[in-house]
Amino acid sequence: MSRQLLLATRNPKKLEELKRILAPLIEVEVLGLDDIPPYEEVPESGATFSDNALLKATEAVKHSGLISLADDSGLAVDALNGMPGVLSARWSGSTRPEVSRDDANVDLVLEQLADTPDERLGAAFHCAVALVRPDGARVVRLGVMAGRLIRERRGGNGFGYDPIFVPAGYEVSSAELSSADKDAISHRGKALQAIVPDLLAALDG
Ligand code: IMP
């Protein structure tokens, strides 16, 4: 029987990214939550990205019996004391049907920074990836992409806060980078790369 690994997500882009990273390294079938019988997902109630990633991976193992990975990520803005942080996805709390949640979140962050001088617009994307094994062993790896915010949206790639985020050392926003270029420097790409040795050990063990 071939080895299997569950990534606790329904996001096909995240599944593809993990498959791309693992393909040259190990023979493993990567499954997503849509590939296993459905279960009630826990709310992301943790105080940190690591807590939330562990929560999701632990639930995934409990319901699947498979080695499971989960990630949690978000934007930390210096001038907002690290917020939106773990609340990034639902920062605006918007239910306006005519505005996408990403757009409403970006609008709110820009509004909150209206009086902050440009030189204090530092921010970073953070990602925690948790690996939990059926025997209970667990590890979390972190990735960060530092940068600064801009007040006008730029670029059509990516999602979330990408159009107003310029990575350190770049002049373009992360929504102007191709997905391959973004993966190479992104918080998620770094956290996934960092957990690969743990994953190889878990799958071989
Ligand atoms: P999740 O970890 O995929 O649930 O992402 C949490 C939220 O953080 C997303 O809904 C986005 O608002 C934000 N976020 C996380 N990673 C990125 C990124 O790479 N670009 C833009 N926004 C991001």
What's the number of domains the chain is made of? 1
State yes or no: cis peptide before 12, omega within 30 of 0: no
Residues 6+ apart with CB under 8 A from 163: 106, 153, 154, 155, 173, 175
Q: Tell me, yes or no, if 72 is annotated catalytic.
A: yes
Of residues 130 and 41, more confidently modeled: 130
pLDDT in tens, 137-155: 999 999 999 999 999 999 9
What was the pLDDT predicted at 23? 84
Q: Does the pLDDT value for residue 86 go beyond 90?
A: yes
Q: Which of 49-63, 94-108, 179-193 has the highest mean pLDDT?
A: 49-63
Q: What percent of the chain has pLDDT over 90?
A: 82
For ligand 1, what atom is nearest to the CA of residue 159? 21
CA of residue 202 to ligand 1 center, whole Å: 27
What was the pLDDT predicted at 2? 62
Name the band, by pLDDT with cuts 50, 70 and 90, for residue 34.
very high
- Give the domain range for residue 44: 4-204
Beta strands in 8-67 (DSSP E): 29-31
What was the pLDDT predicted at 1? 46
**Mean per-residue pLDDT for 44-73?**
97
CA of residue 27 to ligand 1 center, whole Å: 29
**Mean per-residue pLDDT for 34-59?**
95
pTM for the predicted model, two decimal places: 0.94
For ligand 1, what atom is nearest to the CA of residue 9? 3
Q: Does the pLDDT value for residue 67 go beyond 90?
A: yes
Name the band, by pLDDT with cuts 50, 70 and 90, for residue 159.
very high
Are 196 and 22 in contact, with CB atoms under 8 Å apart? yes
CA of residue 119 to ligand 1 center, whole Å: 24
Amino acid at 188: R
What was the pLDDT predicted at 49? 98
**Mean per-residue pLDDT for 16-32?**
88
Question: Residue 112 maps to which CATH number?
Answer: 3.90.950.10
